[in-house]
Structure 1
Amino acid sequence: MRYAASLIGGPSTLATFVAVYALFGPTFPGIYDKDRGVYTLFYPGLSFAFPIPSQYTDCCNDGEAELPLEFPDGTTPVTCRVSVYDSAADNKVGVGSLLNKAIAPPLPVDSLYMEEVHVKLGEELWFTVGGQHIPFGASPQDVWTE
């Protein structure tokens, strides 16, 4: 996965908390869901979720996490979920809201970044140009290698 000219994650590069935080910056400290053991960083139109091992949950309690998040052993969590959404308030699309209206951004007709995607509700995405089938619930690693 790329953002502008920077590689965020893929088969040879892990999308770690430190790497994501370094690329996108500290716009908001994020939210730790102690029930699920997941720390989520939010950016306009994008969020990254990171699993926090049980032995390190104390690092995240009470919104006191020192960012970027690194554990006492020197490791940093790796992304378990990437969500892309339309963050415009008038579209009512975003984390925790109803997906009422999502529209494609204005791009040139021959843009290399856009292709037709078919959605089989509850099952998968099918990219028509490359022929990839991505099942819902696939890990970021599975998506990046596809």
Structure 2
Amino acid sequence: MIAVVQRVNSSWVEVDGKIVGKIGKGINILLGVVKGDTEEDIEKLLKKVPFLRIFEDDKGKMNLSLIDIKGEALVISQFTLAGNVKKGRRPSFDDAEEPERARELYEKFVKKLSEYVPVQTGIFAAHMKVFIENDGPVTFIINSKEL
């Protein structure tokens, strides 16, 4: 699994002009499910993401986690994170997990993350507009295969 984690002041997602998920201070997670991902990949991300010390303490140092600040998470499915651009000019999505399996793992990630912090989502496989007020900007790319 690939997660792009962005520290945000606020973030929301619209589908067909309607807001379907919205958070205040917290993290925006763009989540891509790659072929071969399992629940073990979910667990690896869950051991890292809500505990990352990426929020500033009163001295301006990144010492606080999402849990510490009582923040929220907005999780957006994004199969394009599994895209490969090595050959030619058109991305290949051969490494992206099949939609049914990807949805299953995405939903399990969301459910388990919600045991730590409040979570909002977009709509899986929908065309979405994601609005992000990135704070910093502070952005990390986390690949479960590298944890």
Name the structure with the higher helix share: 2
Larger radius of gyration: 1
Scaled by the length of structure 1, the TM-score of the pair is 0.26
> Which protein has greater RCO, CA pairs closer than 8 Å, 6+ apart?
2
Name the structure with the higher strand share: 2
Scaled by the length of structure 2, the TM-score of the pair is 0.26
